[in-house]
Amino acid sequence: MLRSDEDGVSVAPVLAGLVDEYGRLLRQSRRLVTMGDRMQQSLNALNHDLAVSEQKYRGIFENVAEGICRCDADGMLVEANPAMAEMFGFYDSESFLEAVPDFQSLFCRAEDYELYETLLAADQLRRFQVRLCSPESGRLWAEVSASVMDDREAFPGGIVCVLADVTERKHMIEEMRRLARTDSLTGLYNRGHFMELTERELARSRRTRSPLSMLIVDVDHFKNVNDTYGHDVGDKALVTLSRVLRDAVREIDVVGRFGGEEFVVLLPDADRRNACRVADRILECVREARIDIGGKQVGVTVSIGLTACEDDEEDLDRLIKYADIALYAAKKNGRDRVEVYRRSGCHCRREADCMEAMAVRGES
């Protein structure tokens, strides 16, 4: 039985208030414990998700075929994956980072790195193809994509780069381009690419008023070579002739195979007189060349038609036509010779031959 205090006041209400307050504190404690448990569960789940994400990131970082690296704001390499190290000829990432401290040192040319920085600053560095160098693997072509991580507190001002080795692809594309513009047998320019280059030189000749000449070279009696020795020997003869032509002209001259046994040579900055010297040199070199046929040495000769660009109205079709007329005259006049076509009057050996050649081409 609860008693009253000395003043006769009952303590029961006070005790009841304390009990109620204790109950409220107990309930709040339980709620706090429950909230703490839930927060711990959420934290555990978040840590698990982070661990899974880290595991996925590491799995990609370590096993992806592309090279991945991180740099600090000064361009110093902080991290590189195994693919990046292997790309540049290193056994592991640690040895790569020791040998290559900064990203700039991978660039072969300073101007390429300047362009890289410009594109990176403009946030336009996507699939940037550039030649890179390595102290271990030499040079390679890489496709670089990169971005700046300015908004990351954990890595302020850092750069993440992804590199793909496209050396093989680059070489394949170059080989396809080469095959598209060269003759498969002789390695000279094919007809289409020769015509394209000649159009450019003609435009330059008109612009600078510089001389330009053209030769059409045809193997004499080539059908007899094929019939007597076989087409494989005929191919050898064409390959030999293509080598002679390349060796007899300058680096700036353009040599192409027009088809069959017919070749064409464009001589930029060469007037008629200089072109005649080149044609005479070709004749002599071809006469001296020999084709080995089972120990037997066989020679061939060629006929050459020559024309020079004489006015601003000259075009490719006319050059080919006039050189072709001169070639026909060379065939008619005994072969193994050069004939020259001039607009101001035919200067082939016989004018009748030139007039006839306007309408008819003779056989080789």
User: Environment class of residue 300 by beta-carbon count within 10 Å: exposed (0-12), middle (13-18) or buried (19+)?
Assistant: buried
Cβ-contact 77, 103 below 8 angstroms: yes
> In the chain, what is the straight-line distance between the N-terminal and C-terminal CA atoms, in Å?
141
Checking DSSP bridges between strand 212-219 and strand 262-268, what pairing results, if any?
A: antiparallel
DSSP class of residue 102 equals B
**Is 261 an active-site residue?**
yes
Out of 261, 262, 314, 339, pick the active-site residue: 261
How far apart (Å, rounded) are the C-alpha atoms in residues 353 and 268? Answer: 28
How far apart (Å, rounded) are the C-alpha atoms in residues 247 and 207? Answer: 29
User: Environment class of residue 121 by beta-carbon count within 10 Å: exposed (0-12), middle (13-18) or buried (19+)?
Assistant: exposed
> 90 in helix, strand or coil?
coil
C-alpha dihedral (227, 228, 230, 231), degrees to nearest 10: -50
* Cα distances (Å, whole numbers) of residue 317 to 190, 202, 264: 17, 11, 13
Catalytic site positions: 261
